[in-house]
Amino acid sequence: MFSDVNGADSVVFWATLALTCALCLATLWRAVQMPERLTEAPLFIGAMWLYFYGFMAVGVALHLASYIPNWALELGQALALACLVATLVGWRSGRKRGQPVGRSSLIPRYDVRRMWWIGIGLIIVGGISHWLFLGEGEVDWEGTSAYWYMLFHVIYPGVALCMTAWASEARYRKLAYALPLAATGVLALYPNLVGARRGPVFPAVIVLVLVPPLVARTIPKRSRIVGGIVVAGCVMLLFLAVRPWLYEGGRVFRGEDVAARWSGALGRVTAEEIFVNRVLQEGDNEFLYHCGMVGTIAERESYQYGTGYLSLFTHWIPRQWWSGKPALGQGIFPDAASQIPFVMGWSLSGGASAGGVAEVFNQFGFASPLLWFAFGYAMAALYRRTKGGDVRWGLAYVGVLCASHWLVSQGVAAAFVPACIYVVVPLIALRIARAQPQRVPRKT
């Protein structure tokens, strides 16, 4: 540890932190003041950035500064600010490029009933696979094909298709359809809910609050969007706080007294533990890991030069066919995480993440803001096509936004597979649900 270093004395760090928080708050304020911007990506990116690189950063500077040298703290915060600016500039560049792409007269017409039942089918398939996989006594993560344990992600495209039907025709907003959809969705996500897994919460909220206004092309209600973000954030923090107590004595799943476990866990957790204590713990603060990773990479010059992203294409080969397949995001150069103990004096805890900014920095170094610019630009391009009225682009935009949580909290590798599922599955489903053109009889 660097016990003689105090991050609270760094003027550079506090200046860049203030700029980061000010930019995030200005982005949030602008979206809240202009309801038509509530469906835009900067609102969600700003909220996530404010938590990971604002709130968490304050905790490191005031309580965990002895774990990190000043130069790494300053570099980590400056890089987070640069990547945020690049993302927002990319978004503005993509939004200003032209008018919304597409016309309502060119929108393919769909069989809404077929779309609804395809959505229900996807929710059931994803739910059954998830129940069966997590119901195993011991999960062999290394030897199991990702096609099996990632199949639960089709639940979200299924819900998105049902919500598209819900926004398209009034009959799907009646209890006869709403109740079965709610019951099916809750049962499918039950293992995640009882297991306090925070990752699946964010895409569920995004689909529920964004699909209706985008499909119906209406101005969203401020209370629904902002309320959805707040609820998602609080639930995710609650899940993190209760998991140590919830998993005491083994995994939580069906066949156990889940209600008793949750009751006991909630009885032990306080509001301070949910919203404050995690930031003060070395093993739980993502910004500390972010600075440690960025500092180690810069010190040792241990970049992957983009090779880690090449392994994303081999992900689709089943592990049963290629037992030695590289891990998701694994590059060909020495791993930077294994070098952290030699530079910082501590190691990442099991299952910890250094965050998306550090992960991209590991691949491209100081050119990494360019990738964040491209991400912002691509999101804006999808959004322009969404505003043009084509439901295909609307669901693709929602799908990428659903995966943005993994992008910011973990990186491109973690977001890649969910994003592909969230984009490709609805496109295939909509192709199947396309209505047959009406034949016009020839005039004699």
Contact (CB, 8 A) for 412 and 364: no
pLDDT confidence of residue 139: 57
pLDDT value of residue 147: 65
Q: Looking at residues 405-422, what average pLDDT do you find?
A: 91
pLDDT number for residue 148: 67
- Is the whole model's pTM more than 0.85, yes or no? yes
pLDDT exceeds 70 at position 3: no
Helix (H) or strand (E) holding 296: helix 286-300
What letter would DSSP give residue 434? Answer: B
- Residue 427 burial (CB count, 10 A): 14
Are 199 and 353 in contact, with CB atoms under 8 Å apart? no
Percent of the chain at pLDDT exceeding 90: 33
- Which one-letter amino acid corresponds to residue 401? L
For 375-397, what is the mean pLDDT? 87
CA distance 305 to 299: 16
Q: Give the contacts of 12 (CB within 8 A, at least 6 positions apart).
A: 74, 78
Reported confidence tier of residue 159, pLDDT bands at 50, 70, 90: very high
The answer to whether 397 and 214 are in contact (CB under 8 A) is yes
d(C-alpha 371, C-alpha 100), whole Å:
24
More confident call, 193 vs 107:
193
What is the tens place of the pLDDT at every residue in 39-50? 999 999 999 999
Q: What's the pLDDT at 293?
A: 93
**Looking at residues 102-122, what average pLDDT do you find?**
74
Angle in degrees, CA 25, 156, 246, rounded to 5: 75
pLDDT of residue 96: 78
SS3 (DSSP) at 124: helix
401 — pLDDT class (breaks 50, 70, 90): very high
> Residue 300, Cβ neighbours under 10 Å: how many?
14
For 114-134, what is each residue's pLDDT tens digit?
999 999 999 998 888 777 766
pLDDT of residue 135: 53
Question: Of 127-131, 267-271, 365-369, where does the model show the most confidence?
Answer: 365-369
Q: What is the pLDDT of residue 388?
A: 67
Residue 350 has pLDDT above 60, yes or no: yes
Read off the amino acid at residue 18: A
Categorize the per-residue pLDDT at 108 as very low, low, confident or very high, splitting at 50, 70 and 90: low
CB atoms closer than 10 angstroms to residue 82: 17
pLDDT tens readout for residues 277-325: 667 677 678 899 999 999 999 999 889 998 889 888 887 777 777 777 7
**Which stretch of 67-81, 165-179, 254-268 has the lowest confidence by average pLDDT?**
254-268
Give me the pLDDT at residue 185, please: 85
Of all residues in the chain, the percent with pLDDT exceeding 70 is: 86
